[in-house]
Amino acid sequence: MSVDLSTSLGSLHLKAPTLTASGCAAAGRELAQFGDVATLGAVVTKSIMLQPRSGRATPRMAETPSGMLNSIGLQGPGVEAFIEKDLSWLSQNGVTTVVSIAGETTAEFAELAARLSNVPGIAALEVNISCPNVESRGQVFACDPYAAADVIAAVRREWTSDAPVLAKLSPDVTDIVSIAHSVREAGVDGVSMINTLLGMVIDVDRMKPLLGGRTGGLSGPAIRPVAVRAVYQVHAALPDLPILGMGGIRTGHDALEFFAAGASAVSIGTVVFGDPRAPWRVAEELSSELASRGYSAVRDVIGLAHR
């Protein structure tokens, strides 16, 4: 039985249901040795800032049970080098590209949106309002409905492209539905969820936090039930809001959970570090999972767990 794996996120048609997750495949080029990146739903690039940035102190990664902590701190080349080197490679190779942006202030987000608006080859903009690895928790816009809406409204004003705007949400909130409502009111076309959870590991030989930045973002299978719960809650409250689901997806079976909870597409993140073919493999496995249950299209299972 052949299964139709095409889907969409608002106005963005996706030929495949699996995307990379921001921060887990840089700008896609390294993945090209493992498969045809143009056949993925999309590459979601590492969050880019206006200026180049060296990131946080090392060590920046720690293994945890069924997951890992990262404390990268938005390392990157800055938007101009990104456009010149990364976006041009993605465009030349026919890759559907979702560009993730991050700023320290609302004005920086707005400037990034303005700069990228007329750049060809951007299929969607993911506004990362939820990076856990910033100096101050006050800078995590996604933890406050007003700050989150402020950023999205500013981006919306500057974004002149027809490509959809997604907000990346944090799970580290009391009520993720209120944040989703808020960014929707401010004009997003969809949400990406979830970013990592704030965590910490202590090195008890040194009696100090293991990570150079002290805290880090927890990802991997350990967070999958949190992500599925968050997707389910937001889809229940806002069934028409497209959701790009992510958080610890390792197999097609895991991905199917997210679709049933209400995601329209999924991003594959941490697993890629150990299995770079995972974004393709998960799509193939999802096809088998759907076929064995008698479904002929992934679109038919979106939100089915809500019936």
Contacts with ligand RRO, residue ranges (CB under 6 A): 23, 47, 70-74, 102, 128, 130-133, 195-196, 217
Strand pairing of 197-199 and 208-209?
A: unpaired
Structure tokens at 164: 């959809």
| Residue with nearest beta carbon to ligand RRO | 217
Beta carbon nearer to ligand RRO, 109 or 280: 109
Question: Smallest distance from the beta carbon of 52 to ligand RRO, in angstroms?
Answer: 14
What phi and psi, each to the nearest 5 degrees, are found at residue 73? Answer: 75, 40
Name the catalytic one among 5, 14, 124, 131: 131
Beta carbon nearer to ligand RRO, 180 or 246: 246
Question: Smallest distance from the beta carbon of 212 to ligand RRO, in angstroms?
Answer: 11
DSSP letters of 159-194? --SSS-EEEEPPS-SS-HHHHHHHHHHTT-SEEEE-
Question: Smallest distance from the beta carbon of 55 to ligand RRO, in angstroms?
Answer: 7
Determine contact, residues 218/248, Cβ cutoff 8 Å: no
User: Which sign, positive or negative, has the C-alpha torsion 178, 184, 185, 186?
Assistant: positive
Structure tokens at 271: 């697993």
Active site residue 131: yes
Question: Smallest distance from the beta carbon of 238 to ligand RRO, in angstroms?
Answer: 22
Beta carbon nearer to ligand RRO, 102 or 268: 102
Rounded Cα distance, 99 and 85, in Å: 14
Beta carbon nearer to ligand RRO, 112 or 302: 112
Structure tokens at 49: 């800032």
Residues 6 or more apart in contact with residue 174 via CB below 8 angstroms: none
Catalytic sites, residue numbers: 131
